[in-house]
Chain A
Amino acid sequence: MVMAELFLAAVILIGCSGLPALAMGRYGRLGEMISVILLLLGVSLALVASLAGGFQTPAPLLILEWAHPGGPLILELDGLSTIFQLPALLVLAMGGIYGLGYLPQAKVGLTAGRLRLFYGILGATIVFLPACRNGLVFLMAWEIMALSCFFLLLTEQKEKETRRAAFVYLVATHIGTLALFGMFVLLAGSSGDLAFPQAATLQGTTVQAGAIFLLALFGFGMKAGVMPFHFWLPAAHAQAPSHVSALMSGVMIKMGIYGIVRVTSFYINLPAWWGWTILVLGVISAIMGVAFALAQHDIKRLLAYHSVENIGIILIGLGCALLGQTFNYPSLVALGLAGALLHVVNHGLFKSLLFLGAGSVIHATGTRTIDHYGGLLKTMPRTAFFFLGGAVAISGLPPFNGFVSEWLIYLGLLHSQTEGAHFPFSLVVLAVPALAMTGALALACFVKVFGVTFLGTARKEFAVPPHESPRTMLLPMGVLFLGCLTIGLMPWIIVPLLERGIGSWLGAASVATPLVSTLAPVTWISLGAALLIGLSLAVWRWQRSFPEESCQQQRPTTWGCGYIKGTPRMQYTASSFAEQLVHLFRWGLWSDISDGRAIGFFPSVAHFAIHTPDVFLDRLLYPASRALTRVAFRLRSFFHQGWLNVYLLYTAITLCLLLIWLM
């Protein structure tokens, strides 16, 4: 019971943390400082509650009988909730500190107070949601989360693009919520009890279960940004302030994954098509997400598409686990789910690190266009270092954390072969090349981002020369960087938590499941990662020992196509670097290319621009809704003529139809 009070106190502290900043807007920094302290206090309380809850025997923290429909309010912390809360808490705290430097009250005035308020509310709902076990309260918290996120998005509401992104987000999230309403109603069935069922208590083979699964996939998938439903995500992540993007991308969209994981945990005897659907959606999201990311020029839009890719990777792991459950291969369940859950944590860490890094670069240069950057390594070495760490992690390379989770998923997918699987099930292994391709493309994409942004020479003169970020912005990045490195180097510290999570997903059947630690020798990863770091350090030292004088002559520009006397304009741009890969994916990207070809021996001035809008939003949904609006307008001007006689005719016709229907 103490636990429940601790947890609720933490949620309330986080939720109210923005009030001092809002109320003390005139006192400059003081209000902000109090807000951050409150936020940190709440986060530490929640951390204690969440960890203790995750490792205690599963029992509800709090059962509150009250007089509103849908059963009692039940709060419960288990392994799954802890896994989703941990990165949320870390990112929340770090984003709060980062905001001090990124959007200080001194610069943006009252906007900062509003930002703090909704940031706190968003954080509180994200921490609260995984603990909530009542459908009605869940939906309320879900809606508060969606709305506070909407207001955060509107921080820079004077820009037209921001308002458009916020509107698209609002529409998307409400369509998703509508599906969730349907899902919870179906889940409650005729009993009207909206409390979540225990894990592994419902039959998955019924039609009702299938409908619930599809609604959950649509509603939660909309929030998570699964490929066909991701259309709100790029613009929203690009237009929000960077630490808000970090929270949204790193944590908020994971609530969608949490929902899918939680809903699938209710069922036993899962039909095979559940797993296949999730696996296929995962593969599509992963590959197309990274392909779209490659084609972007806006650094935050690019990172947003990487969120779609990583959601895809998580879904591949989850699909592997679901198929393992269907065909009764416990090793696939353990490895796939462990990989998926660990990737939830990892993506929360490295994606928020990357967004904070991108925020630092934007803070320094004032633009989001990658092609305006260049040579920032010299002016912002620390930001560059942290960003590099995040880039290595997201590409799934050791010694960072992204490698560990992708490795677990690989292992899970490959286990489908070692156990002599029959035909349709053995196709699971086809996800392996897809995952490998995703990793390779992600690597290419981050070579592009890091190379064009930090290497080479400056492409553009800025009015205020770029400068390193203040300490309040560097510290959060450093902490997240350390987090990535810790999981990459010592994955065994998080394995017990993953096993708790899998246990609570499997429910009563968890006794028979082999543990992750026996299937995946994570200690070897530690060893390998340590070796890799040692080796890199040794190579670096060795390279440093070269005599400097050999480089004394005119150095060519680093990124300058090998010309000795290159100008900054000769460097690879973001588009030219990615051109080949983008060309490979032209069947899915449908880029707008305004082509200025250089023709003849002495070509005149030519301009070239390539722009890749979102296929679903800009090429499908916008034209479709415009056409729908046109039809609706035409229908309205046809039916709505303003003649009284005509309206009376409608009444008469309706009456006649009703009478005929009565007959």
Chain B
Amino acid sequence: MNNTANLLLLLVVLLNFFLLGTSRLGSNIRTVAIQGGLISLLPLLAHGLSSHTLFLAVAAFLFKGIAIPYLLFRAVRQVHISREVEPLFGYVPTLILGTLATAASFIFSDRLPMIAEHSQTLFVPVGLATLATGFLLLITRRKAIIQVVGYLIFENGIFIFGMLLTEAMPLMVEALVLLDLLVAVFIMVIVMHQIKREFSTINIDQLTSLKE
């Protein structure tokens, strides 16, 4: 069971690298969808089949794998966003930074005092590495829609991390987190739409006039 989970997690890491390296908007969104679908299997793999984990898996798959990517694709179509990612940094430097961050999170989680049950799994290092990837995307990309992708990756990292706590956390909390995420993406898409209409750009380096 653990081996399957670890395999999935390694796949997640690979997808992280792909996200950092790809230049197409569409493949970005698609990758997020695949990553979301993959990690929605994690509750089942980590904690076995039960109504709790089943609900979580299905809900996560619906939201992360289908609903949110659909919304994002719609936004890309409606707002007529060009298909280029337009990074502030080049792809190769981001990729190197991502590698370093992933290595650092593996080293860091080795030094964390964890209970024996968790020390065999890759949940903590992959969670941290995904968080770092989300951060890197948020920092280095110029388009507002990639910011949304960055937040989603970020949330995926938290979700992976939260797998360790699934049994301790009430179902309601997780359900609400997922719902929150959906609503947040809704709002972001709507705001982006408005921004596009108002300023005819959604590059966030144009949005600095509120700094005082």
Interface residue stretch chosen among B33-41, B46-54, B201-209: B201-209
The docked-state distance in angstroms from the alpha carbon of A663 to that of B208 is 36
Q: A641-B211, A659-B108 are in contact. Are A648 and B138 (CB under 8 A)?
A: yes
Residues of A within 8 A of B115 (CB): none
Q: Does A594 contact B (CB under 8 A)?
A: no
Q: A659-B108, A663-B108, A663-B111 are in contact. Are A642 and B139 (CB under 8 A)?
A: no
Residues of A within 8 A of B138 (CB): 644-645, 648
Q: Does A640 contact B (CB under 8 A)?
A: yes
The docked-state distance in angstroms from the alpha carbon of A642 to that of B212 is 8
Q: Does B147 contact A (CB under 8 A)?
A: yes
Q: Does A652 contact B (CB under 8 A)?
A: yes
A644 touches B111 (CB 8 A): no
Residues of A within 8 A of B172 (CB): none
In the complex, what residue of chain A is closest to B131 when comparing beta carbons? A655
Residues of A within 8 A of B210 (CB): 642
The docked-state distance in angstroms from the alpha carbon of A582 to that of B111 is 70
B191 CB, nearest partner CB in chain A, Å: 13
The docked-state distance in angstroms from the alpha carbon of A643 to that of B142 is 10
Q: Does A593 contact B (CB under 8 A)?
A: no
The docked-state distance in angstroms from the alpha carbon of A203 to that of B108 is 50
B159 CB, nearest partner CB in chain A, Å: 18
A644 touches B147 (CB 8 A): yes
Q: Does B7 contact A (CB under 8 A)?
A: no
B133 CB, nearest partner CB in chain A, Å: 11
Interface string of B113-135 (1 = CB under 8 A from A): 00000000000000000001001
B92 CB, nearest partner CB in chain A, Å: 18
Interface size class on chain A is 10 to 19
Residues of B within 8 A of A659 (CB): 108
Q: Does B88 contact A (CB under 8 A)?
A: yes
Q: Total contacts A to B, CB within 8 angstroms?
A: 37
B108 CB, nearest partner CB in chain A, Å: 6
A642 touches B208 (CB 8 A): yes
Q: A643-B205, A644-B147, A644-B204 are in contact. Are A649 and B139 (CB under 8 A)?
A: yes
A641 touches B208 (CB 8 A): yes
Using a CB-CB cutoff of 8 Å, which residues 603-660 of chain A contact chain B? 640-646, 648-649, 651-652, 655, 659
Residues of A within 8 A of B132 (CB): 652
In the complex, what residue of chain B is closest to A659 when comparing beta carbons? B108
B108 touches A643 (CB 8 A): no
The docked-state distance in angstroms from the alpha carbon of A655 to that of B135 is 10
Q: Does B140 contact A (CB under 8 A)?
A: yes
CB within 8 Å of B: which residues of A?
A: 640-646, 648-649, 651-652, 655, 659, 663
Give 4 A-B pairs besides A640-B211, A643-B205 with Cβ atoms closer than 8 angstroms: A641-B211, A645-B140, A645-B205, A651-B135
Please name 27 pairs of A and B residues whose Cβ atoms are closer than 8 Å in the assembled complex, sorted by A: A640-B211, A641-B211, A642-B207, A642-B208, A642-B209, A642-B210, A642-B211, A643-B204, A643-B208, A644-B138, A644-B204, A644-B207, A645-B138, A645-B139, A645-B140, A645-B141, A645-B204, A645-B205, A646-B139, A648-B135, A648-B139, A649-B139, A651-B135, A652-B132, A652-B135, A652-B139, A655-B135
